[in-house]
Structure 1
């Protein structure tokens, strides 16, 4: 699967899954804009990828910042071919203890960020009659887990947005799909283990083996490299036959 110079905007691209995808896109011949709220981190990540990468400071909850960042990429490289809406955080509480400000923070980064980056990118995609919108969903786009009301709500919302974009974008040659990982072995996930152990009153090992991996077929975490390969497949797919879909990579935790 090759990208042949196509330009991708990757939010939250300075680390974790986002960076792994950026690296894989460059290997496949793409050009990537590492969009991150931390410009130093974005610049450091882009420097590792060479001339085919650029850094863009972007708070995905700020419409002006999103518009300016996307336009900057289009000005440099002439097009916006792929959006990977990946920026996200995790906050866990029982609903009765969930501070509203923290609910709004999480849902804004995930869902508002997906909307704002979509709106900014399709302005360019529609003009060129082609484009790929990829959203980082989750198994929690399909399932629910305790303590994750805001995250589950946001990830379900992303699924809806992506489906609408598959319908609206079709006449402009723009396709839209959602990547739905299970638990990926990242610092964000590792950070949740002691938090959930405390909230649920169980051991960290029980969180790992039962809460996170209990429904997988092999008790294995999904790897960032797995998600990068899936993202490349969806980005480089040659036609719009594959649109409006959500693809789950979860070691069998969720089976369509």
Structure 2
């Protein structure tokens, strides 16, 4: 097993991409803390994954925009299991508006969850990784870490910022054996994306079918959504990679929508 007895924290993991990553890690023998704003959902997901094994999971409450909650959550994982080997910063939301109509409070909320959350969770985990001279930090970016789309100014700004944060972390963490990388999925049909379809149809004044075919999948090579399983496999590869040969990178998983 690729992650036998490795200790991982995955944020926003009670559902969607985060849950798929947690499941894949447990399948490879990891002990996974499912950290989510919804504590009951996190604990239910953890119980289900633990029954499947061979690894196990626990659920913890965590608001990634709260430094105290992040620090307390990481401290609890370390108290129970001794360290943190892998961090997957996955928590995120989507809010869409034209720039001139974007409420500042909503702008700040989105950036806080994506960018502040990535910073705070990494800050809390790094001392434990540095102490043991090893670790893997994986941030969830997006094709929008590379590209822009109308209505998504806050999301695009946050996802570009995450790539910059990961690159700095890779430089600082390299001497301690800590790698930092970003996964950049294309459109994955999660509840987050489902919510966007009618919103973009309204704001762009096109049909929901056109949103899917033209806006979301129009630039892919096969008009297919990326799957949570696709993203989970990349997360497993990054988590289990053993050297600094792969660090500071942003890996796009998008059916060819964006090509480096």
Who is 1:48 aligned against?
A: 48
- Matched residue SS, 2:188: coil
TM-score between both structures, scaled by the size of structure 1: 0.99
Cα deviations by residue, 1:159-195 (Å, 9 ceiling, x for unpaired): 0000000000011100000000000111110110000
Matches of 2:75 and 2:85, distance apart in 1: 13
Cα deviations by residue, 1:61-111 (Å, 9 ceiling, x for unpaired): 000000000010011011100000000000000001100000000000000
Match of 1:69 among 73, 81, 93: 73
Q: Find out whether 1:211 has 2:215 as its counterpart.
A: yes
Q: Find out whether 1:182 has 2:189 as its counterpart.
A: no
Who is 2:61 aligned against?
A: 57
Who is 1:10 aligned against?
A: 10
Matches of 2:67 and 2:36, distance apart in 1: 14
- Matched residue SS, 1:144: coil
* Range with greater deviation from structure 2 (113-122 or 235-244): 235-244
TM-score between both structures, scaled by the size of structure 2: 0.97
Matches of 2:78 and 2:177, distance apart in 1: 18
Who is 1:31 aligned against?
A: 31
Matches of 2:46 and 2:161, distance apart in 1: 30
Who is 1:147 aligned against?
A: 151
Structure 2: tracts of 5 or more residues without a match: none
Structure 1: tracts of 5 or more residues without a match: none
1:238 to partner: Cα distance: 2.1
How do 1:1-256 residues align onto structure 2 when only pairs under 5 Å count? 2-50=2-50, 52-256=56-260
1:7 to partner: Cα distance: 0.6
- Matched residue SS, 1:177: strand
- Matched residue SS, 1:132: strand
Deviating 4+ runs (over 2 angstroms)? none
- Matched residue SS, 1:9: strand
Across the aligned residues of Structure 1 and Structure 2, the Cα RMSD in angstroms comes to 0.8
